[in-house]
């Protein structure tokens, strides 16, 4: 069935839950997983206080640190389940584009992601990123609650 | 992993393609599939001449016959893959609600469905039934192209 599963993560609890399900599926199917975190680039105009206060260098350093933590969390889960795992993070303003691009470049055959991440509000709304991934992805997407 | 996969099917080509993905997944996981076809109830006001001319009994008879054809097609594909399959139809004019209800009724732990069915226009829009199912369902949804 599935051979290479893309697990986009934003570090939120929901995305970790989705990653866990993706890893379980990978372990049952004997698939590999590719973990991806998309870092928002530095903006001079921003609504995130952290970005305003920081200079670009500090922001990038912090963002990179977070990104490595997020993907390392998923890597630990994959290793515990005995699933082959590679982790990456990219900087992109549009996470859905980065996700669809990674799926294509890495020849993934499934994306497993949460119905919403940090920015999603409630179950009444589908996260904007997952919605865009559903529209643009060429491969099936497993949307988790 | 997943034990019972719900396959909502409206008989469109895309929904049959999603059925094939669902059956392949079931075969890989040793799961059972349940096909569900949702029929709209007999409308008192309609824009289909054939419906307006028919009486309700006739409409239900034909609708159920067409549901049986669709479900038999799924059954045939599941048998070919050696996957145990059951099927049912529901009469409801809100297919997403019927799908979400079927999840608990038939104890399914995942839904596999297409991005859109008969009514979906193109790649640019996510089908309304799929969109609502993503919001209503308590289980993960695998959305296929």
Task: Please say whether the beta carbons of A30 and B1 come within 8 A.
Answer: no
Lowest mean pLDDT among A66-80, B32-46, B90-104: B32-46
Taking the C-alpha atoms of residue A113 and residue A12, their distance in angstroms, rounded to an integer, is: 11
Task: Determine contact, residues A111/A137, Cβ cutoff 8 Å.
Answer: yes
pTM to 2 decimal places? 0.88
Residues 6+ apart with CB under 8 A from A15: A8, A9, A113, A114, A117
Per the CB < 8 Å rule, is B134 touching A24?
Answer: no
DSSP state of B107: T
**Could you confirm whether domain A4-144 is CATH 3.40.50.720?**
no
Contacts of A125 in chain B (CB under 8 A): 135
pLDDT in tens, B37-92: 998 887 666 566 665 666 778 888 888 999 999 999 999 999 999 999 999 999 99
User: What tokens were used for A114?
Assistant: 């949460």
pLDDT at B126: 72
Nearest to B126 among A28, A135, A140 (CB): A135
Answer whether residue A34 shows pLDDT above 70.
yes
Let me know if domain B4-144 sits in CATH 3.40.50.620: yes
Burial class (CB in 10 A: 0-12, 13-18, 19+), A141: buried
Q: Where are the domains of chain A?
A: 4-144
Domain edges within chain B: 4-144
Copy the structure tokens of residue A107.
């020849």
d(CA B16, CA A111): 21
In sequence order, which ranges of B48-92 are alpha helices (DSSP H)? 49-53, 56-80
User: Please, how many CA atoms are within 13 Å of residue A76, restricted to the half-sphere of its CB?
Assistant: 7
Per-residue pLDDT, averaged over A31-43, amounts to 89
**pLDDT, position A65:** 92
Write down the mean pLDDT value for chain B: 87
Lowest mean pLDDT among A55-59, A92-96, B94-98: A55-59
Q: Tens digits of per-residue pLDDT, A79-110?
A: 999 999 999 999 998 999 999 999 999 999 99
Looking at the complex, report in whole angstroms how far the Cα of residue B125 sits from the nearest Cα belonging to chain A: 7
Yes or no: say if A103 and A6 are a contact pair by the CB < 8 Å rule: yes
């Amino acid at each position: 069935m599935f051979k290479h599963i893309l697990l986009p993560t934003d570090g939120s609890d929901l995305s970790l839950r989705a990653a866990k399900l993706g890893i379980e599926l990978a372990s049952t199917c004997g698939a590999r997983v590719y973990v991806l975190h998309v870092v928002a680039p530095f903006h001079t105009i921003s609504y995130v206080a952290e970005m305003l206060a920081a200079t670009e260098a500090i922001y990038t350093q912090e963002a990179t640190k977070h990104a490595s933590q997020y993907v390392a969390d998923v890597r630990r889960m994959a290793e515990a389940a005995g699933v082959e795992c590679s982790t990456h993070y990219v900087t992109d303003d549009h996470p859905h584009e980065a996700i669809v691009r990674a799926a294509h470049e890495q020849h993934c055959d499934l994306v497993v992601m949460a119905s919403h991440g940090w920015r999603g509000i409630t179950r009444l709304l589908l996260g904007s990123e997952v919605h865009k991934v559903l529209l643009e992805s060429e491969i099936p997407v497993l949307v988790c609650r | 992993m997943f034990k019972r996969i719900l396959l909502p099917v409206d008989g469109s080509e895309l929904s049959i393609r999603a059925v094939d993905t669902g059956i392949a997944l079931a075969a890989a996981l040793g799961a059972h599939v349940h096909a569900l076809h949702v029929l709209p109830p007999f409308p008192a006001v309609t824009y289909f001449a054939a419906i307006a001319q028919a009486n309700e009994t006739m409409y239900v008879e034909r609708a159920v016959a067409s549901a049986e054809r669709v479900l038999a097609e799924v059954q045939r594909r599941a048998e070919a893959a050696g996957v145990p399959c059951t099927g049912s139809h529901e009469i409801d004019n809100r297919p997403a609600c019927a799908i979400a209800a079927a999840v608990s009724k038939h104890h399914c732990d995942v839904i596999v469905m297409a991005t859109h069915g008969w009514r979906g226009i193109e790649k640019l829009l996510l089908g309304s039934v799929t969109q609502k199912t993503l919001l209503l369902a308590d289980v993960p949804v695998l959305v296929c192209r």
